[in-house]
A = this chain, B = another copy of it.
């Protein structure tokens, strides 16, 4: 091992146990009226052939957000990512990676409806996977007959990430990160319904969105038939960039949208109660 970076005199770089630090990404988009997560097929050996969240090692002089954005760009192939990225939590149980002790800082990213599966820069296969088709611990459908199983503890990370997205939708205008820069209120409502897995009253949703300051701004344009079929053309709106990052009042999802989830509303992020004698999972 080399000496620690910028280590002054008097410190022993061997005095601390060496960890590997990675970033994992739960990248979401809404497509075909469903919440989808980006998964990649692993080629390297731990869990080779299995599906996993995109991610990779953090460089020794690289900030963690930078590493997350770098991996996001590398794995999605998107240079201009217009969405949102934030830290979710850190997962570092010994043995979660059979190779070595790895601490992974998981992130959540919100993407607008992206061009297509976007295979990564390397040879891996990539796809958008419906989260309802996955067997996530205590979440949504929880299909025991799911054909896809995720590598490492990525099922838990993804379950926490889904909870995070659903919570964020109540208090923040981040739903606009899932749609194009100009969108109709119907599209925005479809995003909410896909993320929450519920139905919303069109009239009340529209009134809440328009009465909430700092959420959307009307534009002069009107949507000329972007969805197939008939219907009156909808007015186009834009995200209000000047607004605060918070919605007042919040839009609380209906109770049936919470019942679908395991431990709703509370786990904004925490991976459990973290009691000393309890199993953490």
Contact = CB atoms under 8 A, between A and B. Distances in A.
A45 to B, nearest CB: 7
A231 interface: no
B276 A66 contact: yes
Contacts of A89: 87, 89-90, 269
A138 interface: no
A13 interface: yes
Interface string A15-52: 01111110000000000000000000000010000000
Nearest to A170: B265
B66 A90 contact: no
Interface in A172-229: 172
A85 interface: yes
Interface stretch (A55-63, A117-125, A127-135, A141-149): A55-63
Contacts of A237: none
Interface residues of A, number: 69
A183 to B, nearest CB: 20
A4 B101 contact: yes
A202 B7 CA distance: 56
Q: How many copies does the complex hold?
A: 2
Nearest to A70: B276
A84 interface: yes
A115 interface: no
Given A5-B101, A17-B58, A265-B246, A274 B87 contact: yes
A87 B269 contact: yes
Contact of A273 (B63, B64, B84, B250): B84
A214 to B, nearest CB: 11
A164 to B, nearest CB: 9
Interface in A77-114: 84-87, 89-90, 92-95, 98-101, 103, 105, 107
A137 interface: no
Given A1-B18, A245-B266, A6 B95 contact: yes
B167 A16 contact: no
A96 to B, nearest CB: 10
A256 interface: no
Contacts of A274: 65, 68-69, 85-87, 107
A171 B252 CA distance: 12
Interface of A: 1, 4-8, 10-11, 13-14, 16-21, 45, 57-66, 68-69, 84-87, 89-90, 92-95, 98-101, 103, 105, 107, 167, 171-172, 244-246, 248, 250, 255, 263-266, 268-276, 280
